Amino acid sequence: MNKEPNWDRYFSDLSFDEFKERSPFLNGKSKPSVYSKDGQWLYIGFFDIGVNVHDCTKIEKILHDLQSCNNSESSGKPLYKRAQIESDIELLKELVQNCDGG
């Protein structure tokens, strides 16, 4: 029987593309949303676009588009995709709230 891998070392040496390829949840899916290193940009995986976290007008537009997409097609989407969209919606709502000062 094989010895269990050292998971911390395994993940630290793994590129994101390798991680995505080996993941049963991410393989073949769009990239998840992620902040840039400096935290000034957000890549939104569902739409494959980036937005500056201070561009409130664009964030509100993307939030509206994402909510519309979610409302119109939510019942037919797989659970993983719905969870990704709903997580992005919550994240964008937080950014909009930060734009409003609070």
The whole model's pTM is what? 0.77
> From CA 32, how far away is CA 86, in angstroms rounded?
12
How many domains are there within the chain? 1
- Overall average pLDDT of the 25-38 stretch: 85
- 18 domain residue, yes or no: no
Any domain includes 58: yes
Instruction: Quickly state the pLDDT bin for 10 (edges 50, 70, 90).
Output: very high
Which two three-digit tokens encode residue 9? 């070392």
Domain containing 46 equals: 29-99
CA distance 61 to 19: 31
- pLDDT, one tens digit per residue, over 58-101 is 999 999 999 988 876 566 777 878 888 899 999 999 999 998 76
Identify whether 65 is part of a domain. Answer: yes
The conformation of residue 50, written as its DSSP 8-state character, comes to E
| Terminal-to-terminal C-alpha distance of the chain | 55
Largest Cα span, the chain = 57
